[in-house]
Chains A and B, each alone.
Chain A
Amino acid sequence: MAMNTESRRVLRKLVKNPTAMLGIFLLIFFILVAIFAPVLAPPEPGKDPFKMLPAKTAEGKMIWSSNPIAPDRAHPFGVIGKYDVWYGVIWGTRSAFRIGLIVSIISSLIGIVVGSISAYFGGWIDEILMRITDMFMAIPFLVAAMIMTTILGKGLDKVTIALIIFGWMQVARLIRGNILQAKEEQYVLAAKALGIRDYSIIVKHLLPNTIFPVIVQISMRMGSLVITAASLSFLGVGAEIGYADWGTLLNYARNYMLQLDKSWFAVVYPGIAMVLFVLAWNLVGDALRDIFDPKMRA
C-alpha cells in the first residue's frame, strides 16, 4: 500500500546517505549507553544513581582530596573534584536524554498549540498570542534561563522547566507560518464546507501537512538543548553539586583550567560526549530535512 512505499522510500534515502547513517549509529550508541548505564558504571545499591558519590580507590577507600587523579585502571576517565569522570559521563548520557527529550517534546507541544491556534483563528487571537511570543523572544535565552534557575533554585528539573518556558517560541512561529500557508489550500476550505469542526481541521488536515519541519527542528534542538543545559551547569546555575551531568563535570574542570596537564581528562571526555551527542542529532535532523523537503523529492 501507499504508505509502505512512502516509508520504504524514506528508508532507502536514509540508507543511501552516509552522514545520516553515521548520525543514526551515534544515536543508537548513546541510547545503548543510556540503557546499559547501570552495567557500565554500577551505582551504589539503594542510592539515587544520579547523585555522584566521592570516588573510591582501587582498594575501596573513599577519596577525600579534591585534586584531580589521572586515568588509571579503577578510574578509566580519571577523577575530578572527588568524582569519577567515567561514571559522570555514562550517567550524564541519561541526564542528557532526559533534558533533551522532555524539553523539546513539551516545548514543541506548547509551540504547536500556540502556533496553530494563532494561525488558524487569526485576527485578534493571532495578534495577542504573537505579541506574547515576541515578549518571550525579546529576552536573551541564556540570560532568561539563568534568571529562571536562580529564582526556581538549583537542580536539573528546574533547568528543564526554565528551558521549556523559554524554548517554545521558535516552534510556535514555525508552525504558525506553515499553517498560514496551508490553510489557504482548497482541501481546508472543503473541510470547512463539509462542516467539520475547527479542532478536527487543525488535527486531521493542517498538522499532518505542516508538522514535518517541526520534527526536523525538534531533532536539531535536542543537541543544542543539551549544550545549553550543560552551559548552565558549567556556570553553576544548573544541576546540583555532584549531579551526574556533563556540564557539572566541566564545572569541576573549570577550577583546574590553568593546569590542563593535570585535568585534561575532565574536559576531554565529557566534551567528546557532548560533541558527539550534538553531532548525532544534527546529522539525523539534516537527514530528516532532506527527506521531508518537497524540493528534494525525486
Chain B
Amino acid sequence: MVETGKTTVREEVLTVKNLVKYFPIRGGVFKTIVGWVQAVDDISFHVYRGETFGLVGESGCGKTTVAMTLMRLYNPTSGSAYFGGKDILNIHGNELRNLKKDIQMIFQDPYSSLNPRMRVKNIIAEGIKTHRLATSKQDLLDKVAEMMEKVGLSVDHMYRFPHEFSGGQRQRIGIARALAVEPQLILCDEPVSALDVSIQAQVVNLLKDLQNHFGLTYVFVAHDLAVIKHISDRIGVMYLGKMVEMTDKRNLFNHPMHPYTRALISAIPIPNPELKKNRTILVGDVPSPINPPSGCRFHTRCPIAQAICKEQEPLFEEKSMGHFVACHYAK
C-alpha cells in the first residue's frame, strides 16, 4: 500500500507500545530465578483497520511470543497495547474474557490445535456458547454450519472428529473456530507453515477472502517471506526480540534499509538458474536471547557493523514516511 499524495486517515486498530516479555529461567533447589530469556524486548508497532500486518523473522526471534502475549496467553512483562480504547495488556477478569470475542487467534499446528476428543461442531460452537452469541440451539447449529461453509468445509462433516480430516481441512476448522465469535482482529501464528505448499496457497487465499468478506484485520506471523509478501500490506521484521524494520510491503522489498532485512530478502530463492544474484550470506547463528549482544543485537552478524554498534543500541526511528528502522547506518 503506497500512499502517494493521498491523505487518507487510517484508523489504528491496534497500537503496541514498548512491549516486553521476558521468561524467567529457574534453577537450583529453591527454583530461584537465575536468568531471563529476553524473548520480546521493547517492541512498538501499530496495525491499521482492515490491513494485514506481517511479522517476520527467524525461529526464536520472538514473533510468536508477540502474538501469544497480545492474545494474553502469556502475561506481558511490561508495555501496553491499545485496542478499542483499552490497554488490553492491563485488563483482567470479565473484561479480558470479553476482549477474546474481539481478538482471536489461528494456531500454527493444525494437528495439536484441535481437541482430538471433540466433534467439529462442538469445537466451532464452543466460542459461540461462551460468548452467548446464539439465541437458541437451532441458531447455534445454523451459525456453525454457516462458518463451516464460509471456510470451505462440507456441513455434512459437522459431527466428525478432527482425526478424520487432512491438515488443510483441520486448519480450516481452526479458522472457523476463530471466526465463529465474530472477531475484529485475528492473530495468525504461522497458520500455514505446517501445511503442504499446495495447501498453503489455498489457506492463504481463504484468509484473504475472509478478510474482504468480514472486514477483518490480521496480524500475520510467519518465517516464510514468500507467504508474507503475498498476504501482507505492512511488514515488521524482527531479530532476537527486537523490531528492526517496519514499513509497507513494497517499500520493504524494494528499499530495505536494515542490513538484516537485506540479507533476508537476498536469501529468497529465485526460480531462474540463469540469474546470478549478489547474496548477502549471514555467518554464524542467532545469539542466545538469554544473553543478547550489547548495543545493536545484530552487530555480531552484521556485514556493515562499526565500533558504535557494539556499544550503543540504535533507536527504532522513522527514517522516511512510514518507514521505521533501527540501525545506525540505515540508508
A204 to B116 CA separation, bound complex (whole angstroms): 11
Contact A190-B131, Cβ < 8 Å, known A1-B159, A2-B164: no
Q: Which residue of B lies closest to A1 (CB)?
A: B159
User: Quick one: CB contact mask for B85-119 with A, threshold 8 Å, 1 for yes?
Assistant: 00000000000111111001101110011111111
Q: Is B130 an interface residue (CB 8 A)?
A: yes
A277 to B136 CA separation, bound complex (whole angstroms): 50
Residues of A1-42 contacting chain B, CB below 8 A: 1-3
Q: Which residue of B lies closest to A189 (CB)?
A: B73
Q: Is B144 an interface residue (CB 8 A)?
A: no
Q: Is A255 an interface residue (CB 8 A)?
A: no
User: Quick one: CB contact mask for B135-169 with A, threshold 8 Å, 1 for yes?
Assistant: 00000000000000000000000011100100000
Chain A min CB distance to B87 (Å): 18
Q: Are A185 and B112 touching (Cβ within 8 A)?
A: yes
User: Quick one: CB contact mask for A161-200 with B, threshold 8 Å, 1 for yes?
Assistant: 0000000000000000000000001110111111111001
Other-chain contact of B117, A1, A186, A189, A208 (Cβ < 8 Å)? A208
Q: Are A190 and B117 touching (Cβ within 8 A)?
A: no
Q: Which residue of A lies closest to B108 (CB)?
A: A186
Q: Which residues of B contact A190 (CB under 8 A)?
A: 105, 107, 113-114, 174, 177
Q: Are A193 and B100 touching (Cβ within 8 A)?
A: yes
Q: Which residues of A contact B97 (CB under 8 A)?
A: 195
Q: Are A194 and B109 touching (Cβ within 8 A)?
A: no
Q: Which residue of A lies closest to B163 (CB)?
A: A2
A189 to B108 CA separation, bound complex (whole angstroms): 11
Q: Are B98 and A195 touching (Cβ within 8 A)?
A: yes
Residues of B171-185 contacting chain A, CB below 8 A: 174, 177, 181
Q: Are A2 and B108 touching (Cβ within 8 A)?
A: no
Q: Which residues of B contact A194 (CB under 8 A)?
A: 100, 104, 126-127, 130, 177, 181
Q: Which residues of B contact A196 (CB under 8 A)?
A: 126-127, 130
Q: Which residues of A contact B104 (CB under 8 A)?
A: 193-194
Q: Is A75 an interface residue (CB 8 A)?
A: no
Majority DSSP secondary structure for residues of A touching B = helix
A178 to B80 CA separation, bound complex (whole angstroms): 35
Chain A min CB distance to B188 (Å): 12
Q: Which residues of A contact B119 (CB under 8 A)?
A: 2
Q: Are B113 and A187 touching (Cβ within 8 A)?
A: yes
Q: Is A209 an interface residue (CB 8 A)?
A: yes
Q: Is A205 an interface residue (CB 8 A)?
A: yes
Q: Which residues of A contact B100 (CB under 8 A)?
A: 193-195
Residues of A240-284 contacting chain B, CB below 8 A: none
Q: Which residue of A lies closest to B97 (CB)?
A: A195
Q: Which residues of A contact B326 (CB under 8 A)?
A: none
Q: Are B126 and A2 touching (Cβ within 8 A)?
A: no
Q: Which residues of A contact B98 (CB under 8 A)?
A: 195
Q: Are A195 and B115 touching (Cβ within 8 A)?
A: no
Contact A186-B164, Cβ < 8 Å, known A194-B181, A196-B126, A209-B116: no
Chain B min CB distance to A294 (Å): 10
User: Quick one: CB contact mask for A143-155 with B, threshold 8 Å, 1 for yes?
Assistant: 0000000000000
Chain A min CB distance to B131 (Å): 7
Q: Is B71 an interface residue (CB 8 A)?
A: yes
Q: Which residues of A contact B116 (CB under 8 A)?
A: 209
Q: Which residue of B lies closest to A209 (CB)?
A: B117
Contact A193-B160, Cβ < 8 Å, known A187-B115, A208-B117: no
Q: Are A195 and B101 touching (Cβ within 8 A)?
A: yes
Contact A186-B107, Cβ < 8 Å, known A194-B130, A195-B131, A209-B117: yes
Contact A2-B174, Cβ < 8 Å, known A189-B73, A195-B98, A209-B115: no
A195 to B119 CA separation, bound complex (whole angstroms): 19
A1 to B157 CA separation, bound complex (whole angstroms): 11
Other-chain contact of A192, B73, B101, B161, B177 (Cβ < 8 Å)? B73
Q: Which residues of B contact A2 (CB under 8 A)?
A: 119, 159-161, 164
A242 to B68 CA separation, bound complex (whole angstroms): 65
A185 to B73 CA separation, bound complex (whole angstroms): 13
Residue in B98, B99, B104 whose Cβ sees the most chain A Cβ within 10 Å: B104
Chain A min CB distance to B298 (Å): 30
Q: Which residues of A contact B118 (CB under 8 A)?
A: 204-205
Q: Are A189 and B107 touching (Cβ within 8 A)?
A: yes
Chain A min CB distance to B99 (Å): 8
Chain B min CB distance to A212 (Å): 10
A23 to B130 CA separation, bound complex (whole angstroms): 44
Q: Which residue of A lies closest to B129 (CB)?
A: A196
Chain B min CB distance to A182 (Å): 10
Q: Which residues of B contact A204 (CB under 8 A)?
A: 115, 118, 126
Chain A min CB distance to B187 (Å): 9
Q: Which residues of A contact B105 (CB under 8 A)?
A: 189-190, 193
Q: Which residues of A contact B115 (CB under 8 A)?
A: 187, 191, 204-205, 208-209
Ranked 7 nearest A-B pairs via Cβ = A195-B100, A186-B113, A195-B97, A194-B127, A208-B117, A187-B115, A186-B107
A-contacting residues of B (Cβ < 8 Å)? 68, 71, 73, 96-101, 104-105, 107-109, 112-119, 126-127, 130-131, 159-161, 164, 174, 177, 181
Starting from the known contacts A187-B113, A195-B100, A208-B115, 13 additional A-B residue pairs (CB-CB under 8 Å) come to: A185-B112, A187-B115, A189-B73, A190-B113, A191-B115, A193-B100, A194-B127, A195-B96, A195-B131, A196-B130, A204-B118, A204-B126, A205-B118
- Pairs across A and B, CB under 8 Å, 12 listed: A189-B105, A190-B105, A190-B113, A193-B105, A194-B100, A194-B104, A194-B126, A195-B96, A195-B100, A195-B131, A196-B126, A196-B127
